[in-house]
Structure 1
């Protein structure tokens, strides 16, 4: 298991500063979130020279870019095609800078869709880009988040998509905080597809808290992940 931190927690840091901090505190990697006005410079509009520089800087520092966190989401027909197009761009950006994962969301379910239709739409969207991701050596990791905090719903997408380039980013907090599943239950449902993890802490009353001050049993999650 390797550890990284996301630019969500340090949006003011440049790429070099993030890499230096990771090295100082013993992290294996970093996870830049794109399209969020963070200062790291890992963005769709980075040209090929800049992408090569980002890749080489990470190599020289010895810190991996473990994942690129996107805001792509697919469960709304009004924005679906734009999101699919953005995901294609994110796949290329991720491969170009030497990373191998992107984080995506299912997203808020749009007007006129029930859960079954939303599962179909998200799975179809992911499948439409999965072969390209595979060709570029990138895995698309759907997060337990927003209207997809219930691990059973994410598992339904995984089963329908059934592609090796489509996996799960298990955010261990959201299913617990939204009272859909315990850590143990979430793990058992998602285990076949877990390729990435987000760890933070919170409670039903407060969305984010320092680790150790909320309701999340991090030890249980790590113990179960160690069995994979």
Structure 2
């Protein structure tokens, strides 16, 4: 398996510092939060993009994802959303990132209407993304929280330029087991976001293994050789412990879960 963390866990940190931290703590990649609050987003000039590429190359760390905030199931005209998706894809191309993260954002819309909007927009942009060597990943989140919700959309899109980012917190909050999430997302999965929290009532981020999420089951269901990305949501919980001091223990916890899953699988053969 390969390991990454999201810069959502260290808001405002310069990208060169994030790359150096990843290298120092044994991570293979970083998921970049692409938001105007941060130093790099779809409106950033070419010089900033080039500087980011150089910083990550110097650290020997990959840029896994451009984590954008486009909401593909939201009400409103398509073109602004499609423009946002194209801009995020262009940023991913410039950074050499294979993925762009998007949200559903369907709100309180009727599920069939939200699905139809998401399908239409993803189907429109997926061929462009694939031609550019990028895959648009719909995160299991908000209006489409479970693997079944996301698969319902991606099955209708039916294009390899679109897939799913499995956020284990949201599928758990949606009452879906990791085994079922994995089954639902077969053929659609890009990679898995892991995290940990105390309970459904307290989503303050915790170090991996210190909370209640079924991480062992999610890791066991992960395809071999894929990515596990730790999304530590300190941006939304500024009182949480700072991420850099947790990075090594977090990666070691994931590596231990991977070893245990491999051992269990070998015994089952």
Same fold (TM over 0.5): yes
Partner of 1:216: 213
Pick aligned residue for 1:114 from 110, 116, 139: 110
Structure 1 residues 137-183: Cα deviation after superposition (integer angstroms, max 9, x where no partner): 1000110001111221111111100001101100011111232x111
Answer yes or no: is 1:192 the counterpart of 2:187. Answer: yes
1:191 to partner: Cα distance: 2.3
CA contact (8 A) 1:73 1:80 kept: no
Q: Does 101-110 or 88-97 show the bigger shift?
A: 101-110
- Structure 1 unaligned segments of length 5 or more: list them: none
Pick aligned residue for 1:152 from 142, 148, 153: 148
Q: Where in structure 2 are the equivalents of 1:10-29 lying within 5 Å?
A: 10-29=10-29
- Compute the RMSD of aligned alpha carbons: 1.7
Pick aligned residue for 1:83 from 77, 81, 84: 81
Partner of 1:132: 128
Distance (Å, rounded) in 1 between the aligned partners of 2:223 and 2:115: 29
Distance (Å, rounded) in 2 between the aligned partners of 1:151 and 1:125: 19
Give the aligned length. Answer: 223
Pick aligned residue for 1:57 from 49, 55, 58: 55
Distance (Å, rounded) in 1 between the aligned partners of 2:106 and 2:114: 9
1:64 to partner: Cα distance: 0.3
TM-score, normalised relative to structure 1: 0.91
Partner of 2:139: 143
- Structure 2 unaligned segments of length 5 or more: list them: 226-269
TM-score, normalised relative to structure 2: 0.78
Distance (Å, rounded) in 2 between the aligned partners of 1:34 and 1:157: 24
More relative contact order, 1 or 2 (CA 8 Å, 6+ apart)? 2
Q: Where in structure 2 are the equivalents of 1:3-14 lying within 5 Å?
A: 3-14=3-14
Partner of 1:2: 2
Answer yes or no: is 1:166 the counterpart of 2:162. Answer: yes
